[in-house]
Amino acid sequence: MEYRQLGRTDLNVSAICLGTMTWGQQNTAEEGFAQMDMALDHGVNFFDTAEMYSVPTHPDTYGRTEEIIGEWFQKTGNRDKVILATKAAGPGEWIKHIRGGPRLNRDHLFRAVEDSLKRLKTEVIDLYQMHWPDRSTNFFGRLGYRHRPGEEMTPISETVAALDELVKQGKIRHYGVSNESPWGVMSYVHEAEKQDAPRPASIQNPYSLLNRSFEVGLAEVAHREDVGLLAYSPLAFGMLSGKYRHDSWPENARLTLFKQFSRYTNQEAIAATELYWELAQELGVSLAQLALAYVTSRSFVTSNIIGATSLEQLKENLDSVQVSIDRDTEKKLEAIHTRHPYPAP
């Protein structure tokens, strides 16, 4: 396993990060425990979760994934082997059950951190991420931007000041952003400089062969400001495993179970996936491993957040670190991308 510096911090995180959002819904606690054991055995030292998980979000499962991780820490004593990332939810209609509608202001962040620490059974969070912005912008990988002049938003200066306090109190070590835009990341950086507060250490956004929108604007920010990408949904919700080809959708798989997740199932995404599938066949690797190796090998990626619902999937995904993307493969991937530049609007 390769390890990479997280922003300008003294932490070196594994190039593969273990995603957790299915635990507590598609996966039981025991299955989550087994995934953490396996990931650790493969050299993974970085786990990603959120107060909001599991997914799809529901009041009954709010916080359950963090609890499962906390139970595993208690059971195994492995807290010191893991760089632990979690997230505070931003505002939104679908998560009104969280503190009556979560915001990234001082009051909410202080309450959210205490609750996450309790559920995670830990004294400190290594990376505390703002799950999505406290303003309207085109996050979750959407194209298009609609400006809403005069809308009420928590100023980024307030969020940075609160995070600075939480670092000083020893509740969090570093913070990161998620589902952010170039304007958002640069605003955090500028505010941190202005307040002599810590800088954001990372940005967690969607990135995969079906969604390369990060490359426009944010890839440059990631390099120049050392705010590297923690790439989420690298398999486009499982689409890039190839298992949804030819309309034979597997039972108990995310896109079959939760039809509301439709971004990666349109005709354009299906057509692009077919071409990537053919290339993987030609190269003699699984499509999942090719897709994951592509993400992990991008220069602006600090860590690739994989997700799995079984140990077989997890093993295949962890072993993607053995697949390398040579120049010829890169050219072939680019040729497909040129034909289908943005299949997941």
Ligand X SMILES: NC(=O)c1ccc[n+]([C@@H]2O[C@H](COP(=O)([O-])OP(=O)(O)OC[C@H]3O[C@@H](n4cnc5c(N)ncnc54)[C@H](OP(=O)(O)O)[C@@H]3O)[C@@H](O)[C@H]2O)c1
Task: Choose between 86 and 187: whose C-beta lies nearer to ligand X.
Answer: 86
**In one letter, which amino acid is 98?**
I
At closest approach, how far in Å is the CB of 292 from ligand X?
8
Q: Are strands 3-5 and 12-14 parallel, antiparallel or unpaired?
A: antiparallel
Say whether residue 167 binds ligand X (CB under 6 A): no
Residue 235 binds to ligand X (criterion: CB under 6 A): yes
Q: How far is the CB of 205 from ligand X (least distance, A)?
A: 7
Minimum CB–partner distance for residue 125 and ligand X (Å): 14
Asked if 314 contacts 37 with a C-beta cutoff of 8 angstroms, the reply is no
Helix 287-296 with 267-283: angle, nearest 10 deg: 100
If 0-12 CB within 10 Å is exposed, 13-18 middle and 19+ buried, where does residue 121 land?
Answer: middle
Closest separation between CB of residue 244 and ligand X, Å?
9
Helical packing angle, 106-120 and 156-168, nearest 10°: 40
- CB-wise, 169 or 262, nearer to ligand X? 262
Q: Which of 175, 237, 277, 294 binds ligand X (CB under 6 A)?
A: 237
254 touches 284 (CB < 8 A): no
Determine if 19 is a binding residue for ligand X (CB under 6 A): yes
> Whole-angstrom distance between the N-terminal and C-terminal Cα of the chain?
33
Q: Which lies closer to ligand X via its Cβ, residue 28 or residue 195?
A: 28
CA angle 341, 344, 345 (to 5 degrees): 95
Assess contact for 249 and 241: CB atoms under 8 A. Answer: no
Tokens of 306: 């994989």
Taking the least distance from each CB to ligand X, the nearer of 149 and 281 is 281
The residue within the footprint of ligand X, chosen from 241, 296, 302, 329 (CB under 6 A), is: 241
Site map for ligand X, 40-69, x if CB under 6 A? --------x---------------------
CB of 4 closer than 8 Å to CB of 228: yes
Name which position in 268, 316, 332, 337 contacts ligand X (CB under 6 A): 316
SS3 content of the chain, % helix, strand, coil (to 5): 45, 15, 40
Q: Near ligand X by CB under 6 A, which window of 107-115, 184-192, 214-222, 304-312?
A: 304-312
Enumerate the active-site residues: 53
178 contacts ligand X (rule: CB under 6 A): yes
- Decide: is 273 part of the binding site for ligand X (CB under 6 A): no
Which residue among 305, 318, 336, 344 contacts ligand X (CB under 6 A)?
Answer: 305
Give contact residues for ligand X (rule: CB under 6 A).
19-22, 26, 48, 131, 178-179, 204, 232-238, 241, 243, 253-254, 288, 305-309, 313, 316-317
